[in-house]
Amino acid sequence: MARTKVIVAMSGGVDSTVAALKMKLAGYRVKGVFMHSWDEVDETGYCKSDQEYAAVQNICRRLDIPCGRMTFVKEYWNHVFSEMLSDYQEGLTPNPDVLCNERIKFGAFLKHAVKSRDADQLATGHYARTRHDGSAWKLLESNDKCKDQSYFLSTISQDALERVIFPVGDLLKSEVKQIARDAGFADIADKKESMGLCFVGQRKFSDFIKQYVTCEPGNFLTLDGDVIGQHSGQACYTIGQKTGLLLGTVSCYVAKKNVQNNEIIVVPGPHHKALYCKTFYTGWPHWISGKSPIMLGQKCTVKYRRGPLSSWCVLKEHLDGLQVIAVDNPFRAVTPGQYAVFYNNEECLGAAVIATSGPSLLDY
């Protein structure tokens, strides 16, 4: 019987290296593939895809597995990057990592790999787990809650989950690094991890985004309407961000963006009441199971930004989406354009894009 063919999406980092190693040791026919999705021809070399691919080739040689490269620059630009730019222009703070996973890595990349018959399944180094309950595939949090990436996979489809393997999802990051060292990849285990968006590189995000989005200077205002400074463009700021301004001796944080007047409202301190709300509203959700997995009004948890922290909430239908209502503690710095991702214990149920926050605690 022919062994199952698996493509491992490889970046040159320790997670994808160990994912490929585990697949090989499990008896799969493994091929490592580098996914090239950003063309830096017109940039200054911060996304060093050629160097990254060379690193992947080196790892594959050491693993004794074939290596390839697939290019999705056009797809990434059309289906992720251009949408991200539109959102920033409208004063939102999008999350391109979620779109990239849905539309490129577990969309175009997976479909091409299967269609070309290079693979039966796709494995990645994401920290997440899957399980089939007899009727549908479930997406579960990683055992390493600090590294869990289910938030970024929350819009994945059933078709994709059926063909995806997450070999490091049941491991702690420390265990992944130790496996790499034991297998002779100490240089990979000890390499500094890349963080943030690959196309930004080492630049400040504000410097990068100004190349693509119109950033008109405007005023920083207090809640009372007093001008206390000038900002360099709304796209450079997000809700809850520290601005560098002071009111007296207290640092100011972004509480609201007024897109029409190109104004940014700031408040003193990171825990000002204007930064908190008891409810927010989203567009219509993507449920991973294909249907609503919980009764409206039933308690679940929500993550409304990346990271391990979640909040208890209840959901209600509202116009063309959901109303998310805090059960215990209020939400801080809810940001339109980001994803609200819903959980039932360790199961990631799905996600919806945040449209707007409700009244702040200052308004009650």
Here the tokens at position 5 are 């063919």
Distance between CA atoms of residues 335 and 331, nearest Å: 10
Distance between CA atoms of residues 221 and 256, nearest Å: 10
Distances (CA, A) of 142 to 182, 276, 348: 22, 29, 11
Distance between CA atoms of residues 234 and 88, nearest Å: 8
Distance between CA atoms of residues 180 and 21, nearest Å: 9
The one-character DSSP state at 149 is: -
The one-character DSSP state at 327 is: S
Here the tokens at position 79 are 């289906």
The one-character DSSP state at 63 is: H
Here the tokens at position 134 are 């007899």
Distance between CA atoms of residues 193 and 174, nearest Å: 13
Burial (Cβ within 10 Å: 0-12, 13-18, ≥19) of residue 46? middle
Here the tokens at position 205 are 């995000």
CB neighbourhood size of 12 (10 A): 20
Distance between CA atoms of residues 16 and 95, nearest Å: 22
Helices (DSSP H) in 64-109: which residue ranges? 73-76, 82-89, 96-99
Q: Is 100 part of the annotated catalytic residue set?
A: yes
Task: Tell how far CA 290 is from the center of its chain.
Answer: 21
The one-character DSSP state at 79 is: I
Degrees to nearest 5, angle at CA 70 with 68 and 72: 165
Here the tokens at position 85 are 């730019």
Residue from 100, 215, 277, 348 carrying the catalytic annotation: 100
Question: Which residues are marked as active site?
Answer: 100, 198
